[in-house]
């Protein structure tokens, strides 16, 4: 094992795959000369050159489409959005082209492409730079959606995403790029669609993903002091979703809390809630609790932002509610 920052794990994953496969290349705003807006492609231009690490104009619709086209001739592009808020400019290409090429060509053309970049809030960046679109993309058949929460998962999942023959939405966070963690040496991948039991417990299941899962960790530590044992599931992949892991845990703990950085209407937590009550209703000892952001655009005020974004206290309160304490 070695210790890497999250951004370094991203660089390693892309670089290793580009060394192995000449059809893989990286394209996006400031990925080359500037080493990436968040230094998540540092050193790649020097190693692979301007034909495989390509700076683009500020035109997401254009370079999303330019990336999708070559998948039909054998290329495996990685398209970086400076933030997924900007991916909305190119969402027509993602939803109407990338997600549908395989089906509409009768299976003749797979679309092996990775769209990656930051998701969710990252402090006081304003409402248009603080949105989580995981459930939007997960709602579209043909797309896979990955949201890692630590450097080891980031590397293993990104390598698997690059090798996948379907389009993958790979969502990171500005606030995680500096996170450090142990990463296995050598070549390894993590299968898409397999959740991680981040912490084993017996009293309540907490499901989350991405950077917000850190609040679940804090809550579990606090609740442990009160004798409440929390099992934490890190989804890692939102689509496909590891329903089996969630159901198995709920059947053990009989209680479920879902923590997600997203607006409360029609999100990943809603889908999980429906699935669990459909397939494990008789195992539940309390109604499922889901924790989301407030149903408003993200505020700029630090005081309001703290109220808008879920935190570990919200998790503690939700767990106590399902425990009837």
Residues 64, 135: Cα–Cα separation, whole Å: 20
Q: What is the pTM of this model?
A: 0.96
Q: What is the DSSP letter of 292?
A: -
Q: What is the DSSP letter of 94?
A: I
Cis peptide before 204 (omega within 30 of 0): no
pLDDT score, position 68: 97
Quote the tokens at residue 244.
């089996």
- HEC string of 142-199? CCEEECCCCHHHHHHHHHHHHHCCCCEEEEECHHHCCCEEEECCCCCCCCCCCCEEEE
pLDDT, tens digit (0-9, with 9 covering 90-100), for 24-73: 999 999 999 999 999 999 999 999 999 999 999 999 999 999 999 999 99
Give the bridge partners for 233, in sequence order. Answer: 197, 207
Contact 284, 323 (CB under 8 A): no
> Torsions phi, psi of 87, nearest 5?
-65, -20
Q: Which residue in 129, 172, 271, 312 is the catalytic one?
A: 129
Quote the tokens at residue 160.
């698997």
| Contact partners, residue 302, CB within 8 Å, separation at least 6 | 124
pLDDT score, position 262: 97
pLDDT score, position 25: 98
Question: What is the residue-level pLDDT of the chain in tens, covering all 325 positions?
Answer: 999 999 999 999 999 999 999 999 999 999 999 999 999 999 999 999 999 999 999 999 999 999 999 999 999 999 999 999 999 999 999 999 999 999 999 999 999 999 999 999 999 999 999 999 999 999 999 999 999 999 999 999 999 999 999 999 999 999 999 999 999 998 999 999 999 999 999 999 999 999 999 999 999 999 999 999 999 999 999 999 999 999 999 999 999 999 999 999 999 999 999 999 999 999 999 999 999 999 999 999 999 999 999 999 999 999 999 999 9
Residues 114, 148: Cα–Cα separation, whole Å: 14
Contact 297, 263 (CB under 8 A): no
**Cβ neighbours of 47 (radius 10 Å):** 11
β-strands 114-118, 168-172 pairing: parallel
Q: Does the annotation count 60 as an active-site position? A: yes
Contact 168, 111 (CB under 8 A): no
Quote the tokens at residue 45.
């231009």
Give the helix/strand (H/E) hosting 299. Answer: none
Q: Does the annotation count 129 as an active-site position? A: yes
User: Sign of the C-alpha dihedral, residues 27, 173, 302, 136?
Assistant: positive
Q: Which residue in 60, 134, 261, 271 is the catalytic one?
A: 60
Quote the tokens at residue 309.
């974004």
Cα separation values, 201 from 1, 30, 48, 188, 207, Å: 26, 44, 46, 28, 12
Please report where in the chains the tokens 């990656």 appear, as a residue: 116
């Amino acid at each position: 094992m070695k210790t890497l920052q999250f951004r370094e794990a991203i660089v390693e994953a892309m670089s290793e795959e580009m060394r192995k496969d000449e059809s893989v290349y990286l394209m996006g705003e400031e990925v080359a000369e500037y080493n990436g807006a968040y230094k998540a492609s540092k050193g790649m231009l020097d190693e692979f050159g301007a034909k495989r690490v390509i700076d683009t104009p500020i035109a997401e619709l254009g370079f999303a489409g330019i990336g999708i086209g070559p998948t039909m001739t054998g290329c495996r592009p990685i398209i970086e959005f400076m933030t997924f808020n900007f991916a909305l400019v190119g969402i027509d290409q993602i939803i109407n082209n990338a997600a549908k090429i395989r089906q509409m060509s009768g299976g003749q053309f797979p679309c092996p492409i990775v769209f990656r970049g930051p998701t969710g809030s990252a402090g006081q960046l304003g409402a248009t730079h603080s949105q989580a679109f995981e459930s939007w993309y997960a709602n579209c058949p043909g797309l896979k959606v990955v949201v890692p929460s630590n450097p080891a998962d980031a590397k293993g999942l990104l390598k698997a995403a690059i090798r996948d023959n379907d389009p993958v939405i790979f969502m990171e966070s500005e606030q995680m790029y500096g996170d450090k963690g142990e990463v296995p040496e050598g070549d390894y991948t993590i299968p898409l669609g397999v959740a991680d039991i981040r912490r084993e417990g017996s009293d309540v299941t907490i499901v989350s993903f991405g950077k917000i899962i850190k609040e679940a960790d804090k809550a579990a530590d606090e609740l442990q002091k009160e004798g409440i044992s929390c099992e934490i599931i890190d989804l890692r992949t939102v689509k496909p979703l590891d329903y089996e892991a969630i159901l198995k845990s709920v059947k053990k703990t009989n209680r479920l809390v879902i923590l997600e950085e997203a607006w409360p209407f029609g999100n990943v937590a809603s889908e999980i809630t429906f699935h669990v009550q459909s397939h494990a209703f008789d195992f539940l000892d309390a109604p499922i609790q889901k924790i989301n952001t407030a149903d408003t655009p993200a505020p700029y005020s630090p005081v309001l932002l703290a109220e808008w974004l879920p935190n570990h206290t919200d998790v503690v309160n939700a767990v106590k509610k399902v425990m009837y304490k």
